[in-house]
Chains A and B, each alone.
Chain A
Amino acid sequence: MKAIPHLPCLRLGKPYRSLNQSEVIDYRSGEIRATLSQINPGIIRKDLTKINSARDALQKFSTTELLNICKKAGDSFLHDHLPLGENGALQGPRDYVDTLSSTSGLPHVMVRKNMEKIHFALSNMKLILNGLTRGLDLEVLDLGYGEQSGSPVCFHPTTKALGLVMPSNSPAVNSLWLPAIPLKMPVIMKPGKDEPWTPFRLMQAFISAGCPAEAFGFYPTDHEGAADILRLCDRALIFGDKSTTDQYAGNPGVQVHGPGFSKILIGDDEIENWPDYIDLMISSISENGGRSCINASAILVPKYAREIADALGQKLGPVQPLPMDDEGAVLSGFANPKMAEWIDSAIEEDLRVPGAYEATAPYRDGTRLVQTEGGVYLRPTIVACDSIDHPLANREFLCPFASVVEVPQAQMLDCIGPTLVVSAITKDESFKRELLIDSRIERLNIGPIPTMKISWDQPHEGNLFEFLYKRRSIGMAA
């Protein structure tokens, strides 16, 4: 019988086995896939007192050297057998896909796509840094000062480490912190409960590529530990729902990655062509199991809302859960079935509010929530709403869900609220100008571009370089 691996905590690179351990389980069978050292928050606080040594270890490398390490780490992450836990245990890419899939509910095909995204990010880190720094000469990062476009520039770090409180929903979310390493910033991470695999594998890939192990803190811990990471690292990223977003709103040291409320808007000039955009809408709603903040959760149109909802319902309604290793799998299972039950009941309750109906229901044989393939799934849900004020018109759930709402073009931007990605299908110059000056949109796609398409050379949700470094004025005597 295969031994159950134990993932230790990494205390600035040093493995530490805690006496408290949690289990990472197969969401279908309940089988234990790994045990995970759970550490008391005091360990994080103690290690943070030694964080200077971690920074010093990274400072010994030039940015170019660290970019090379990123490239090697990307290849290693994608292809190699890497340390997993203790006693020389290794995990190959196939085992990684299978294990991650079994604990997170993501089908193999999606895990592989996420792997490729991460690989791309690591292999193209120079491009990403270029986007983050707006073309800064990399030598400036090594020296701390230099010139850009003929002007002197000087940057100082805003923190000694980047704190991370990670989610479990999607592995590619890890690509957000990867630039911290070539930016010479150690990471102090609390991994997601059901998804320790990707960050641990990434850290091992970095270490095997020559990155100093001290740069990595991997601390499975409790709420107090998470709060300490956010409080004691002067800069930290947290992922969570709206309550988390609200809790840290206005805290300049915490960048919150919450719901995206991403949307597709179709202008008056393009609405007659709506059938041409149905496939784009479907991929925006359902790619990656509908779990990403860049998945579309609302489609705003000036007319034909019922027709569009019906067309989406016809295509998405019949979509069913497939075996995890099926290449055509679209839906993710829920590692926490209670979450699926909550989402299902929340949708049902709000559907009782007049002014909305479910367009997928007529094309779905059976209930939204299904138990099959050994797990719990939510089948796609499209809701047609009469008004943007309906409780389901601007909601986001961890599954393929979207509303279709009829809103006059002139009122669309008044009612979208904060939106991570807007794909605006229009050629109307005046509408485009309004979109370009709207401050609530983080990423704007103009034209028929799926919301899921992002650009690696443009940060779409916060700029990590500007978060970790601050420009200051400098004068140096000749």
Chain B
Amino acid sequence: MASKNQINEAVLKLDNHVAEIIHWHFSEETGSPFWLQWAKEQNWNPLNEIRTFQDLCNKFPYFKDEWLRDLPNEAWVPKAYQHRPFNIFETGGTTGMPKQRIGWDDFRTDYSEFSTTLNDEHFPRNHYWMMVGPTGPRRLRLAIEHLANERGCSCFFVDLDPRWVKRLISTQQFDQARAYMDHVVEQALTILKHRKVSALFTTPKLLEALAERRDLVQAGIKGVFCGGTTMDRQYARFLMEEVCEGGKIGFVPTYGNTLMGLARHRPFGSENDYSITYHAPQPRAVLRVVDSQSGNPVEYDQWGRVELTTLTKEFFMPKFLERDEAIRRKPWEEAPWDGVAEIRPFGAMEKKIVEGVY
């Protein structure tokens, strides 16, 4: 449990960061065309009225995801980055125009910092990684390679197109979906057979499918970095106890996306019934669990909708309502701010959600 001092220090750090980022994005010298224009259309000035994260929550409306679909990418380029070409990263998407986020170095910052949370026993340095999952236009592909490189490793890649999987499942072509998954798994098994790999990044379902076809411990896998779809408590327990053989393989679940970066998990296991809590890479990103009607944070240990605010010099995105819901958890000493636990698709208890293997 985080101490009051730790929590207060984190709040102060976040408030200072918010002030700095607001100044950056809403100043003519450094800001992006979108936010400068947006500010002109308001009857209040962010530069004058936003001093803290709470100010931001009070004053800004919800970020509209169509802005990331409909506007040209240049609208989001801060002046300071105008001389550099940008990476274009896309979110999931199934049909039509996907959401796009542009970026330069944020993914390196996020994943270099994340690397410090991995241990050398399960993620050995100077070896080989393999990513089995969505590459293509996703930030994750470059991020994982950077993470491997950061640890002196090179990385093999096996691609999976989540848009195709979602389409197959939503049109009830389950045999095709299974055949595609087998195709992906077979490619990964071929790499494992012919090359030495010690760390895996993959999705929970692909991890399970790989383990059903090959003894991962014998194959030399020491650590698995895993994310992409829901892991409820039972599923997390199964992956820990039975797929990763109770600790023989280090199991590192993450929550992340193109718009946020990635959140680290805090230790979990039988002592907390395998409830996984994630903490955002604050102050670069903030996750809140809010009541979807009032927009206010729910009480601790209650369910609410996940709201993301991204606060970097490359990208400012206040109060974006994710398509996820989670339980709000108390701050942790290693990340003394709110955590989000047991994330699942928003409305998962009321309706069937197509998640597929990603």
- Which residues on A are within 8 Å of B, measured CB to CB? 18-20, 38-40, 42-43, 45-46, 49, 227
Complex CA–CA separation, A202 to B242 (angstroms): 29
Given contacts A19-B274, A46-B242, contact A227 B174 (CB under 8 A): yes
Most buried by A among B233, B235, B237, B274: B235
Within 8 A of A (CB), among B226-281: 232-235, 237-238, 242-243, 273-274
- Which residues on B are within 8 Å of A, measured CB to CB? 174, 208, 212, 232-235, 237-238, 242-243, 273-274
Residues of B within 8 A of A49 (CB): 212
Do residues A42 and B208 form an inter-chain contact, with CB atoms below 8 A? Answer: yes
Do residues B242 and A20 form an inter-chain contact, with CB atoms below 8 A? Answer: no
Complex CA–CA separation, A49 to B232 (angstroms): 24
Residues of B within 8 A of A18 (CB): 234
Complex CA–CA separation, A358 to B174 (angstroms): 42
Complex CA–CA separation, A413 to B172 (angstroms): 37
Do residues A19 and B174 form an inter-chain contact, with CB atoms below 8 A? Answer: no
Given contacts A19-B273, A19-B274, A227-B174, contact A40 B234 (CB under 8 A): yes
Do residues A43 and B238 form an inter-chain contact, with CB atoms below 8 A? Answer: yes
Q: Which 8 A-B pairs have the closest CB atoms?
A: A19-B234, A19-B233, A20-B234, A42-B208, A40-B235, A18-B234, A40-B238, A42-B238
B239's nearest neighbour on chain A, judged by CB, is: A42
Complex CA–CA separation, A19 to B212 (angstroms): 22
Given contacts A19-B274, A227-B174, contact A45 B212 (CB under 8 A): yes
Residues of B within 8 A of A40 (CB): 234-235, 238
Distance from B86 Cβ to chain A, minimum over Cβ atoms (Å): 40
A39's nearest neighbour on chain B, judged by CB, is: B234
Residues of A within 8 A of B208 (CB): 42, 45
Do residues B243 and A42 form an inter-chain contact, with CB atoms below 8 A? Answer: yes
Residues of A within 8 A of B232 (CB): 19-20
Most buried by B among A39, A46, A49: A46
Distance from A238 Cβ to chain B, minimum over Cβ atoms (Å): 15
Complex CA–CA separation, A38 to B233 (angstroms): 12
Do residues B234 and A46 form an inter-chain contact, with CB atoms below 8 A? Answer: no
Distance from A9 Cβ to chain B, minimum over Cβ atoms (Å): 11
Complex CA–CA separation, A42 to B174 (angstroms): 17
B236's nearest neighbour on chain A, judged by CB, is: A19
Query: What are 16 A-B contacts defined by CB distance under 8 Å?
Result: A18-B234, A19-B232, A19-B233, A20-B232, A20-B233, A20-B234, A39-B234, A40-B238, A42-B212, A42-B235, A42-B242, A42-B243, A43-B238, A45-B212, A46-B212, A49-B212
Complex CA–CA separation, A38 to B232 (angstroms): 12
Residues of B within 8 A of A20 (CB): 232-234
Complex CA–CA separation, A42 to B205 (angstroms): 9
Residues of A within 8 A of B237 (CB): 19
Complex CA–CA separation, A407 to B15 (angstroms): 84
B212's nearest neighbour on chain A, judged by CB, is: A45
Complex CA–CA separation, A227 to B208 (angstroms): 17
Complex CA–CA separation, A20 to B234 (angstroms): 6
Complex CA–CA separation, A46 to B237 (angstroms): 14
Distance from A131 Cβ to chain B, minimum over Cβ atoms (Å): 37
Residues of A within 8 A of B174 (CB): 227
A223's nearest neighbour on chain B, judged by CB, is: B352
B270's nearest neighbour on chain A, judged by CB, is: A19
Residues of A within 8 A of B238 (CB): 40, 42-43
Residues of A within 8 A of B234 (CB): 18-20, 38-40
Complex CA–CA separation, A227 to B243 (angstroms): 21
Most buried by A among B212, B233, B238, B242: B238
Complex CA–CA separation, A133 to B240 (angstroms): 46
Residues of A within 8 A of B233 (CB): 19-20
Besides A19-B232, A19-B234, A40-B235, 15 more A-B contacts (Cβ < 8 Å) are A18-B234, A19-B273, A19-B274, A20-B233, A20-B234, A38-B234, A39-B234, A40-B234, A40-B238, A42-B208, A42-B212, A42-B242, A45-B212, A46-B212, A227-B174
Distance from A278 Cβ to chain B, minimum over Cβ atoms (Å): 46
Complex CA–CA separation, A47 to B91 (angstroms): 36
Complex CA–CA separation, A371 to B174 (angstroms): 40
Complex CA–CA separation, A20 to B342 (angstroms): 12
Residues of B within 8 A of A42 (CB): 208, 212, 235, 238, 242-243
Distance from A37 Cβ to chain B, minimum over Cβ atoms (Å): 9
Residues of A within 8 A of B274 (CB): 19
Distance from B140 Cβ to chain A, minimum over Cβ atoms (Å): 24
B233's nearest neighbour on chain A, judged by CB, is: A19
Complex CA–CA separation, A39 to B234 (angstroms): 7
Distance from B184 Cβ to chain A, minimum over Cβ atoms (Å): 17
Distance from A249 Cβ to chain B, minimum over Cβ atoms (Å): 15
A48's nearest neighbour on chain B, judged by CB, is: B212
